[in-house]
A and B are shown apart, each in its own frame.
Chain A
Amino acid sequence: DGGITQSPKYLFRKEGQNVTLSCEQNLNHDAMYWYRQDPGQGLRLIYYSQIVNDFQKGDIAEGYSVSREKKESFPLTVTSAQKNPTAFYLCASTRAGVSGANVLTFGAGSRLTVL
């Protein structure tokens, strides 16, 4: 079945460490997104990529980095510069070029806890 796989599901990090969250999709979607979800704040966009080897900052990109070397993969690195990294991270994708129909398919999420 087609879908988005995020790993790990749960991750613990010590302060000062970088961690990388994996996101893989087999939907043949062009565009991929990373969101952060915190209680009472809804989903906030971190980074997005509409094509391989290109990505754009979202609303809260500081302290995060991404790469898009393959269409299927869009890993997110949470760096030590991110001051409050404990959150639920969601990866999503959609077909590019579908004007306005921004229907996203989400992965199951990765919960990062900083100790």
Chain B
Amino acid sequence: QKEVEQDPGPLSVPEGAIVSLNCTYSNSAFQYFMWYRQYSRKGPELLMYTYSSGNKEDGRFTAQVDKSSKYISLFIRDSQPSDSATYLCAMSGLTGGGNKLTFGTGTQLKVEL
């Protein structure tokens, strides 16, 4: 079993829909949780970053962490065709550098007109 599980999709939604992307994990030491967005043939870019449990909102994006269930989510409101990309979750514990990041496999999202 992988430390981080993420449904690969593809997930196809109509423009304007609310999108929910999720990851589950097994390592209770994870404290930092990130969402990266990756357009086709490009490098990932940081979208959201949260520490421990709770919610964080940035414009149309909301990141949610439920450590008791080992479950994190990214919600996209009023989805746009420009949101079509692969979304990667990533997480790490309190110590260590980028070498301690564990990534999900990514969920491919397509927002259709």
Contact = CB atoms under 8 A, between A and B. Distances in A.
B31 A100 contact: yes
A52 interface: no
B113 to A, nearest CB: 26
Nearest to B51: A100
B71 to A, nearest CB: 18
B63 interface: no
Given A41-B105, A42-B103, A111 B41 contact: yes
Contacts of A31: 97-98
Given A40-B8, A40-B105, A101-B32, A58 B98 contact: no
Given A31-B97, A96-B97, A106 B43 contact: yes
A75 interface: no
Interface string B43-64: 1111001010000000000000
Interface residues on B, range: 20 to 34
B98 A99 contact: no
Interface in B85-102: 88, 90, 92-101
Give the secondary structure class of A's interface. strand
Interface string A54-90: 0010100000000000000000000000000000001
**For the side of the interface on A, what is the size category?**
20 to 34
Interface in A14-31: 31
Interface of A: 4, 6, 31, 33, 40-43, 45, 48, 50, 56, 58, 90, 92, 94, 96, 99-109, 111
16 contacts: A6-B43, A31-B97, A31-B98, A40-B8, A41-B105, A42-B106, A50-B97, A90-B43, A92-B43, A94-B97, A100-B51, A100-B92, A101-B32, A102-B97, A102-B101, A108-B43
